[in-house]
Amino acid sequence: MKAIVQDTYGPADVLELRDVDPPAPGDDDVLVRVRAAGVDAGVVHLMTGTPYLVRLGFGLRAPRVRVRGMDVAGRVEAVGRNVTRFRPGDEVFGSCQGSFAEYACGRQGKFVPKPAALTFEQAAAVPISAQTALHGLRDAGKVQEGQKVLVIGAGGGVGTFAVQLAKVFGAEVTGVCGPAKADLVRSIGADHVLDYTREDFTGRPERYDLILDIAGNRPLSRMRRALTPRGTLVVMGGEEGGKWTGGLGRQFRAMLPSPFSGHRLRALVSLHRERDLRFLAELLEAGRFAPVVSRTYPLAEAREAVRYVSGGHAEGKVVITV
């Protein structure tokens, strides 16, 4: 089969389209004929091996899993003998290692049926980014109906889901983004849009019950000024910082002052759970929110797709078609 492979850590140039053996499903696994695969910041970190903490789990000198990609949508090709939820021909979406390929394999608990209303490209955009947004809002942020929510990085892959899901939960949403993404953020339901190139939300009189810091480059002390007295700041990562911890360093720092403040400062740990993916699938089927797919690339151009995402300015999600 054709797959996007890397033998060493580095920029997008390390990715190569090669012929490799298809994965063999184990007893609890589902083999999927890939139709589309999402590209997110996590793919970039695994490709480059930065921050270096990433390598503790994925290979110190070189990636243990050589085929890139995690988000996936496609049709079930084969199932292991213990799999009871799926059969060949079922349309599914979810996450697994090695989705930038013609076939990908993962545990059955990592997949759910694809909503009929979604294309494969739309479905592939959902699993990791939408669950990250959900966990930031619901689990770490404890969002409540009627609250004022600020989403920093509202036009990106996670941000476009965060804006829409905050509206699903009944919040008043302000999105922070660059001028090129302002119309997009308004179109997906944001009540207010702030252009970070023209104004600093931390200097405004408005106060927010919940801030989701997705873009991640402002000092925590300044962001806390924009919170209500009992407000919550959820630090969801960032692309700046040292080579060892990168954006994780901001998350570590966010947890330190929380016990000594009226504010709740939270670092996000997002786990990919079947029940949450099913919850999102139900909302998608009901038309409560929709993936924003700005660009698609064929598998042979995956290197260009990852290079575009690594630039940090992609609108919504980027998807590879197979």
Q: 57 is written with which tokens? A: 């789990």
C-alpha separations of 88 from 3, 45, 154 in Å: 21, 33, 38
Contact of 319 with 38, CB cutoff 8 Å:
yes
Phi, psi dihedral angles at 267 (to 5 degrees): -100, 135
Strands across the sheet with 208-213, in order? 192-195, 172-177, 148-152, 208-213, 227-235, 264-267
Exposure of 190 in the CB half-sphere (CA atoms within 13 A): 27
At 120, the amino acid letter reads F
Contact of 3 with 98, CB cutoff 8 Å:
yes
Q: What is the pLDDT along the chain (322 residues), one digit of tens a residue?
A: 999 999 999 999 999 999 999 999 999 999 999 999 999 988 988 898 877 777 777 787 888 999 999 999 999 999 999 999 999 999 999 999 999 999 999 999 999 999 999 999 999 999 999 999 999 999 999 999 999 999 999 999 999 999 999 999 999 999 999 999 999 999 999 999 999 999 999 889 999 999 999 976 778 888 889 999 999 999 986 555 556 444 555 555 555 555 556 788 887 777 789 999 999 999 999 999 999 999 999 999 999 999 999 988 899 999 999 9
Q: Among candidates 310, 247, 313, which has minimal Cα distance to 40?
A: 310
Percent of residues in the chain assigned helix, strand, coil, to nearest 5: 30, 25, 40
Adjacent-strand bridge partners of 174: 150, 192
Q: What b-and-e string marks burial along 64-76, b requiring 16 or more CB atoms within 10 Å of the CB?
A: eebbbbbbbbbeb
Q: Look at strands 29-39 and 71-79 and give their pairing.
A: antiparallel
